[in-house]
Amino acid sequence: MRDFAEIRVELNAWLDQHWSPDLSLVQWRDCLVDGGWAAPVWPSEFFGRDFSAEEDAVVAQEFARRGVVGAAQSGPRRLAAETILAHGSEDQKRRYLRPILTGEHAWCQLFSEPGSGSDLAGSTTRADLREGRWVINGQKVWTTSAHHADFGILLARTDWDVPKHQGLSYFLFNLRQPGVEVRPLRQMNGHASFNEVFMTDASVDPSDLLEGEGHGWRIAATTLSIERQGFSQTRPDGGLKGLSELRGRVYDEYRAELKIAQEPYTWYPQRAGRVDLALPRARQTGAITDPAIRQELARLLSMKMGADLAASSAAAQSRAGSNRVSPQGSIGKLAASVIARQAAHVHTLIAGTDAMLSGTESAEGGVIAEVLLSVPAISIAGGTDEIQKNIIAERVLDMPKEPRSDTGPFRNIARNATDPTN
Amino acid sequence: MRDFAEIRVELNAWLDQHWSPDLSLVQWRDCLVDGGWAAPVWPSEFFGRDFSAEEDAVVAQEFARRGVVGAAQSGPRRLAAETILAHGSEDQKRRYLRPILTGEHAWCQLFSEPGSGSDLAGSTTRADLREGRWVINGQKVWTTSAHHADFGILLARTDWDVPKHQGLSYFLFNLRQPGVEVRPLRQMNGHASFNEVFMTDASVDPSDLLEGEGHGWRIAATTLSIERQGFSQTRPDGGLKGLSELRGRVYDEYRAELKIAQEPYTWYPQRAGRVDLALPRARQTGAITDPAIRQELARLLSMKMGADLAASSAAAQSRAGSNRVSPQGSIGKLAASVIARQAAHVHTLIAGTDAMLSGTESAEGGVIAEVLLSVPAISIAGGTDEIQKNIIAERVLDMPKEPRSDTGPFRNIARNATDPTN
Amino acid sequence: MPLHRPHNTDHGWFPMSNDFNDEQLQFRDVVKRFFTDKSPVSAVRRLMATDAGYDPGVWQQLSADIGLAGAHIPQEYGGYGFGPVELGIIAEEMGRTLYCGPFFASSVMAGYALLEGADEAHKHQLLPGIADGSTLATLVLDNLNQVDQAGQNLRAERAADESSEHWQLTGTAGLVLDASIASLLICVVKTHSGLALFRVDRDSTQIAIEKLEVIDTTRKLYQVEFKQAKAEKIGVLDSAAMALLWDRMSVALAHEMIGGAQLMLDSTVEYMKLRMQFGRPIGSFQALKHRCADLLLELELAKAVTRQASYFLAVGEGERYLPSMAKAMASETYMNLAKAGVQLRGGIGFTWENDTHLWFKRAKSSEVFLGSPYLHRERMMTMIQESEHA
Amino acid sequence: MPLHRPHNTDHGWFPMSNDFNDEQLQFRDVVKRFFTDKSPVSAVRRLMATDAGYDPGVWQQLSADIGLAGAHIPQEYGGYGFGPVELGIIAEEMGRTLYCGPFFASSVMAGYALLEGADEAHKHQLLPGIADGSTLATLVLDNLNQVDQAGQNLRAERAADESSEHWQLTGTAGLVLDASIASLLICVVKTHSGLALFRVDRDSTQIAIEKLEVIDTTRKLYQVEFKQAKAEKIGVLDSAAMALLWDRMSVALAHEMIGGAQLMLDSTVEYMKLRMQFGRPIGSFQALKHRCADLLLELELAKAVTRQASYFLAVGEGERYLPSMAKAMASETYMNLAKAGVQLRGGIGFTWENDTHLWFKRAKSSEVFLGSPYLHRERMMTMIQESEHA
């Protein structure tokens, strides 16, 4: 194991020589990749240095300390990169990883479909091999930032005569081609954070199939587990303190990149119920003196406290390398739903008749109204409450599964009439 | 159709001649059966007069007006009688109906088993034909008044190689025989309103099989539908106003009969939550001035009002002969559960720390404590909340059934390890 | 006169039942057909994006052709003399279809305010126009959060000519329904002698109307500022009349919510029968079935109380807290059904393109309009305590 | 001394974690084994039917052999100097097994009352007996419904000899835990100078003890009447000390409830895996699985807060409303799990023969003991408001 101090010395020497805020973002990242500092945890054959997570953290620390912009992180591009690293061929890694790190290629995730939400493995987007190319037909949905994306990680069905999980394949899909239409998908709260992606006789070269036919579900599981580890989350400051104050071309371009990446997430705090506003609002309005509202407020604060403590305890255990089954993922997600609903209830109680209003003139400049219209999403997005409860019951409480109705050849499984191919 | 006035005239003339409070209960009812006034709705071949429900009501009115004791009504004996009337042979009707009307035979219902509660058709009490007699082995449970019963309507499995509903048969079972043991079943609230009935090589004559082998489930459905119509309910005064004041041997014996029949039901009002006590208790204790308790009290009174109105509307529709599907049965049962739970919550809020106490010195002479310990039964007895919700979803909302796991020969269906025969 | 006039012009309920008689069922069929035809979701989406928020042609048909605008207004004031029960039927169908129009502001709120508070001459003067739909009116009733403080944001001063009934109103009222299309503002104002009703003409230059941003754009709300606006005093509202006005509006709104809630339940269950996941309709999953059963129960209880509340208003028999009980129950069941409507559809239910959010927003807005469930439960308990002391 | 003494005698938590360190895990194993062996359900059923309600032999082992009675009492007063965290571990295991004995009355209630309120001499005099289990004490603290009115049902008067600390107590206190087996009554009494602590000997002829009928017979409650009973004043409880005493007792009770709640969840889920209906284990039915998932979540949240509340008491860092938050949450999750424990077992769960009702009754009794969830939430909000003004 390398010494952390050695790493610091080597990195800083390299940075002294190469780093300049006046480079373009791509110029700088090209340099970063060439220097091996774009993704030090990656293998040395592929732009990395075989660093451990702790060593990687040292590099990140130095970047942050010196205000150096790192490799592109935001959005689903890291999901694609990590999946390609784990399952891609030599050729695929060579072709795709570098432009991900430099930020030249933006990616999106083409998994969910109108007909398969909770039941992701029920995907009916089809990929048919015709004249040496895969021809893609179908529709994907809930695709974040597809309108900015160059490529997508795509789950599509290549075999309809085997059980559902076995007939899926995983493609690296170029969105910049005819036959691909990306439409914004507006939500009930007025935001349009997602896209629909329509694919009509779009095509994929066989060299962009990951591993081989029928391995799609297994590879998708890798992607989803990376997603659950939070790889698709972006910090607002992109890891750089005071970014908005920093001057230089590389920073300007980095801020623009982050802005695009973060735009879909501006309403997420409202989706979670803005528990932080409950007490201040209760004080402002005088509702805090109302005994019945106090009870509901106390319930809200209690649940939130419990969830925060449980989460920090789980995080501590995870840092401590405890191998105990942690029910945290699904329990935390379910807790967030319950808390958000109670928060919406409390905000409504506090607002009274004013809960009819929205816009900048309304409570907290419209934030409360956005809470009331956004909270319904938290129990759906990223796995519905119902799916979380199935997981908790089966994996934490070890309760038996329900009898399945979706075994046997996929072709014979009952599915939505609106699916393109029945 | 007969004229109501004619009926009154004929009945009163007959009563003038035969009725006397000094007869023994059985003497009087013998006379009543012979006169054809014990069950006028029944067919004329079997002690009745082919009366309509309206005509029968006229007779009941006259009995009530004159303070005349009617045929034995209480407990499950009427379930047995109506089932025998619908499905029994000529011989069975001759042998069993008369002593039911006179009250000489008490009956009980032997359906539920430890291993089959919600899943009544999963009964594993066995009936095997050996040397010309049915030999019964198994255990029944939740049997009201079995320790007073002479006979029971018994559901037992005669064929293990056909689907579950097809292998059941329906017997008229004599409890006064060796091999039958009746034990009281104490509940968590201290009452013992039910029995367990153990049958070990007990026997039934083939002439006491109803209809034939394998018809048990269909016949049981008749019994259950009669039960749902409320035939097993007994009014505390047995239909006679001021019964406790009436003097005469027949009244003494009638009161004794009713007392036995009603004993298992004394805690039923507490099981329903005693909503009637909520406001008085809130006033007594001053809790009615507490804004948070007021909210919960208002919720309780609202639900109760809704349920009462919905029930009276359903009853009016039913009286009006409306054939619309009435969701009332299961909805009413589910409403009663929800209301009882809210009532227990409100009673706890009102009582505060005193909710720890029970007995005559505690709130309402112990009634509140009995509420807190009895309410859990209302969502179980007579079909759990879960079963009611299945029924509401499938029959009222027409939602699809779940996939079944209990098709095919009963022998192969997974069942409880404690069942006697596996 | 297009509507069949009931034999009993006050009400038509058979006592103690929550259901309708044959004539009421016929009436409901007519009303249901009208709103199904005239207020499809496409129309709702179109109108909610407009400023006026209603279709004058449909309003004309509704009020003149089938006479709904004056259905509940007595015949002597130009209405059809139906009672709260028929008004409930109308409101349920409007709620079911999210009808966008001035019915609630003009016929229900202003109409009932005049009926409860205006003197006879003004009833005769103003109600016929409301009843035939030619006058669009609205009610200025501030503060809706605490009706016992109603009218305190406006100040009425007698005009220079002391002998006349001409007054000047000053102050600002929030949450005024459909103020931009109303020609007639009926204002509740606290005066030294209690609550009084004033009329102000909408085209007065002494008032300023500002459109408010709202969660539910099918229900247009405005803030109205009065600057010594010329007003005519048209009656008084004593506390019993004010309570009854609040009751009547609340029960009409409760019916509207019941109609919306029923639509949410029905449409959600239908969706669940068709939507397949894991090789089964999602409506076959037990946890979802049970949720629907719970919701059905809640709706049935709220519906029973709401209809009984109309019966109470029609005949004056029964518990006087029924209107508040109904408003609280209908609010909660509608909101719960709307939440379930989104959740049980999954992601699609959260999209703008899917119609569910239209009902969700109406539910959210109605939940607190005319007072939150919390407020109405508190009011209900106060009535219970008052009746105890009486 | 049988117990391993922790390095840090005050507490052993690593900051911000809800979980235990290795020594605490070891300690828990010892405690768990003890109560699993010594408090099987058969013993609970036997003891709940007796008047004394405990097994002196087991108490002897518990207090003398493994030293639990004085676990949380500082070493200078004869205890083992563990902190609230270890007390929480003990209470959780007692709650899990429904241990019947004077631990809560003597060690927790009387012990903490002396620690918070007695003067130094009386701590030295009285605590060692409590810590080694040879003295059974209890706390007389009326009214438990409103602790801010604590001690007002008793009246203390100085005995004729004014110079001495000898007093006479008069009045009646309800809900005194284990009074019949206690030899020492520690009484909280409101005096003109505030709350004071008095000791009264149980064998005084000037007190009368009446057993109360209770829902949960594993927890014996008595009414104690004092008739000019000879009492010694042993200290004062200022309002901060009284609040802390209430906090400490509430958190210990919350742990007891968490233990019981966990047992209910585990045993109910196990039952559901075995119980077959309709050809499937009932634990495979989705509606029932989801209910269990909801309950698990509620329990996890309550557990996290309860353990954090102990940590707060141990180190004095954190939100001071954590104890009331914990009591409220633990009360509700225990009650909800106990209700589910009955319901998910169906009819068998409602029988006397089945053990579920023992936990149900403990849950019901604990829900309100030391203050209902409602009361503790109100107390919590008051603290939040006070901290705002501070």
* Residue in C closest to B329 by C-alpha: C297
Residue B392 burial (CB count, 10 A):
25
Please tell me the predicted confidence (pLDDT) of residue B234.
58
Q: b/e per residue, D18-33, with b = 16+ CB within 10 A?
A: bbbbeebeebbeebbe
Tens of pLDDT, residue by residue over B355-397, are 999 999 899 999 999 999 999 999 999 889 999 999 999 999 9
Tens of pLDDT, residue by residue over D56-78, are 999 999 998 899 999 999 999 99
Q: Flag whether residue D1 sits within 8 Å of chain C, measured between CB atoms.
A: no
How many angstroms separate the CA atoms of B10 and B35, rounded?
11
Please tell me the predicted confidence (pLDDT) of residue D8.
31
Is the previous residue joined to D354 through a cis bond, with omega within 30 degrees of 0? no
Chains in contact with A, where contact means 3 or more Cβ–Cβ distances below 8 Å, are B, C, D
Confidence class for position C220, pLDDT limits 50, 70, 90: very high
Please tell me the predicted confidence (pLDDT) of residue B83.
96
Task: Quickly tell me which residue has 């009509």 as its tokens.
Answer: A200
DSSP state of B323: -
DSSP structure string for C358-377: HHHHHHHHHHHTTS-HHHHH
* Residue in A closest to C362 by C-alpha: A356
The verdict on a CB contact (< 8 Å) between B390 and C325 is: no
Q: Counting beta carbons within 10 angstroms of the beta carbon of residue A321, is it exposed (0 to 12), middle (13 to 18) or buried (19 or more)?
A: exposed
Is the previous residue joined to A323 through a cis bond, with omega within 30 degrees of 0? no
How many angstroms separate the CA atoms of C94 and C34, rounded?
10
Interface test with D, best of B118, B356, B422 (most D CBs within 10 A): B356
How many angstroms separate the CA atoms of C103 and C95, rounded?
12
Q: Does the pLDDT value for residue D380 go beyond 50?
A: yes
A290, A403, A405: residue with CB nearest B291: A290
Closest CA to A157 of A221, A97, A113, A102: A113
- Going from the C-alpha of C138 to that of each of C57, C181, C186, C189, D202, the distances in angstroms are 19, 9, 6, 14, 75
Q: Closest approach of chain D CAs to the CA of C149, in angstroms?
A: 27
Q: Closest approach of chain C CAs to the CA of A197, in angstroms?
A: 15
DSSP state of D89: H
Q: b/e per residue, C356-389, with b = 16+ CB within 10 A?
A: bbbbbbbbbbbbbbbbbbbbbbbbbbebbbeeee
Check residue C171 and give left, alpha or beta (phi > 0: left; psi -120 to 50: alpha): left
The verdict on a CB contact (< 8 Å) between A394 and D289 is: yes
- Going from the C-alpha of D262 to that of each of A403, B276, D34, D35, D334, the distances in angstroms are 28, 35, 18, 15, 8
Q: Does the pLDDT value for residue C14 go beyond 50?
A: no
Q: Closest approach of chain A CAs to the CA of C217, in angstroms?
A: 10
Q: pLDDT under 70 in chain A at which residues?
A: 1-2, 230-236, 316-328, 418-422
Alpha helix (H) residue ranges in C222-355: 239-274, 286-315, 322-345
The verdict on a CB contact (< 8 Å) between B348 and D367 is: yes
The verdict on a CB contact (< 8 Å) between B290 and A290 is: no
How many angstroms separate the CA atoms of C384 and C320, rounded?
9
Phi and psi at residue D199, to the nearest 5°: -110, 140
CB neighbour list of residue C371: distance below 8 Å, 6 or more residues apart: A353, C144, C145, C147, C246, C250, C327, C379
Interface test with B, best of D172, D249, D276, D375 (most B CBs within 10 A): D276
Closest CA to A187 of D82, B108, D262, C357: C357
Q: Closest approach of chain D CAs to the CA of C383, in angstroms?
A: 25
User: HSE of C204 in the Cβ direction (CA atoms, 13 Å)?
Assistant: 24
A97 Cα distance to chain centroid:
18
Tens of pLDDT, residue by residue over C17-51, are 446 888 999 999 999 999 999 999 999 999 999 99
Please tell me the predicted confidence (pLDDT) of residue A312.
82
Please tell me the predicted confidence (pLDDT) of residue A395.
92
Interface test with B, best of A295, A299, A405, A406 (most B CBs within 10 A): A295
B306, B401, B402: residue with CB nearest C329: B306
- Is the separation of the CB atoms in B29 and B253 below 8 Å? no
Closest CA to B373 of B386, B387, B355: B355
Contacts of A299 in chain D (CB under 8 A): 377
C221, C347, C368: residue with CB nearest A352: C368
Please tell me the predicted confidence (pLDDT) of residue A326.
46
Q: Does the pLDDT value for residue C12 go beyond 70?
A: no
C175, C287, C346: residue with CB nearest A356: C175
Task: Report chain D's mean pLDDT, rounded to a whole number.
Answer: 92
Q: What is the dihedral of CA C326, C329, C331, C334, to 10 degrees?
A: -120
Closest CA to B387 of B120, B139, B40: B120
Q: Flag whether residue D289 sits within 8 Å of chain C, measured between CB atoms.
A: yes
Q: List residues of C whose CB lies inside 8 A of any B CB.
A: 14, 16-19, 269, 272-273, 280-281, 283-286, 289-290, 292-294, 296-297, 300-305, 307-308, 319, 322, 325, 328-329, 374, 377-378, 380-381, 384-385, 388
Please tell me the predicted confidence (pLDDT) of residue B104.
96
Q: Does the pLDDT value for residue C8 go beyond 50?
A: no
Chains in contact with B, where contact means 3 or more Cβ–Cβ distances below 8 Å, are A, C, D
Q: Write out the two tokens for C138.
A: 């609205």
Q: Flag whether residue D278 sits within 8 Å of chain C, measured between CB atoms.
A: no
The verdict on a CB contact (< 8 Å) between A400 and D284 is: yes
* Residue in D closest to B188 by C-alpha: D352
Q: What is the dihedral of CA D158, D161, D164, D169, to 10 degrees?
A: -30
How many angstroms separate the CA atoms of B106 and D134, rounded?
59
Please tell me the predicted confidence (pLDDT) of residue A421.
45
The verdict on a CB contact (< 8 Å) between D290 and C289 is: no
The verdict on a CB contact (< 8 Å) between A295 and D301 is: no
Interface test with B, best of C22, C321, C380, C381 (most B CBs within 10 A): C381
Chains in contact with D, where contact means 3 or more Cβ–Cβ distances below 8 Å, are A, B, C
Interface test with C, best of D282, D286, D295 (most C CBs within 10 A): D286
Task: Quickly tell me which residue has 């009964």 as its tokens.
Answer: B123
Mapping DSSP to helix (H, G, I), strand (E, B) and coil, where does residue C224 land?
Answer: strand
Contacts of D319 in chain A (CB under 8 A): 305
Interface test with A, best of C210, C221, C223, C280 (most A CBs within 10 A): C280
Over its length of 422 residues, how does chain B's per-residue pLDDT go in tens digits? 568 999 999 999 999 999 999 999 999 999 999 999 999 999 999 999 999 999 999 999 999 999 999 999 877 898 999 999 999 999 999 999 999 999 999 999 999 999 988 899 999 999 999 999 999 999 999 999 899 999 999 999 999 999 999 999 999 999 999 999 999 999 999 999 999 999 999 999 999 999 999 999 999 999 988 887 765 555 667 778 889 899 999 999 999 999 988 889 999 999 999 999 999 999 999 999 999 999 999 999 999 999 999 888 777 666 555 434 445 678 999 999 999 999 999 999 999 999 999 999 899 999 999 999 999 999 999 889 999 999 999 999 999 999 999 999 999 999 887 654 43
Q: Does the pLDDT value for residue D327 go beyond 90?
A: yes
State the amino acid at position B388 in one-letter form.
Answer: Q
Tens of pLDDT, residue by residue over B245-301, are 999 999 999 999 999 888 899 999 999 999 999 999 999 999 999 999 999 999 999
State the amino acid at position A184 in one-letter form.
Answer: P
Q: Is the pLDDT higher at D345 or at D2?
A: D345
The verdict on a CB contact (< 8 Å) between D290 and C287 is: yes
* Residue in D closest to B418 by C-alpha: D275
Q: What is the CA radius of gyration of chain D?
A: 21
Please tell me the predicted confidence (pLDDT) of residue D191.
92
Q: Closest approach of chain D CAs to the CA of C278, in angstroms?
A: 14
* Residue in A closest to D307 by C-alpha: A309
D367 Cα distance to chain centroid:
12
Tens of pLDDT, residue by residue over C58-96, are 999 999 889 999 999 999 999 999 999 999 999 999 999
How many angstroms separate the CA atoms of B31 and D169, rounded?
73
CB neighbour list of residue A257: distance below 8 Å, 6 or more residues apart: A25, A72, A74, A103
CB pairs under 8 A between B and D: 142
Q: Write out the two tokens for B90.
A: 């000529």
* Residue in D closest to C290 by C-alpha: D287
Phi and psi at residue D330, to the nearest 5°: -65, -40
The verdict on a CB contact (< 8 Å) between D284 and A401 is: yes
Tens of pLDDT, residue by residue over C177-212, are 999 999 999 999 999 889 999 999 988 889 999 999
How many angstroms separate the CA atoms of C339 and C264, rounded?
9
Contacts of A278 in chain D (CB under 8 A): none
How many angstroms separate the CA atoms of A196 and A140, rounded?
6
Q: Closest approach of chain A CAs to the CA of B292, in angstroms?
A: 4
* Residue in A closest to D323 by C-alpha: A302
Q: Write out the two tokens for B160.
A: 């293990």
Contacts of D329 in chain A (CB under 8 A): 302, 306
* Residue in A closest to D282 by C-alpha: A400
CB neighbour list of residue D190: distance below 8 Å, 6 or more residues apart: D150, D151, D152, D154, D196
Q: List residues of A whose CB lies inside 8 A of any B CB.
A: 290-292, 294-295, 402-403, 405
Q: Closest approach of chain C CAs to the CA of D286, in angstroms?
A: 5
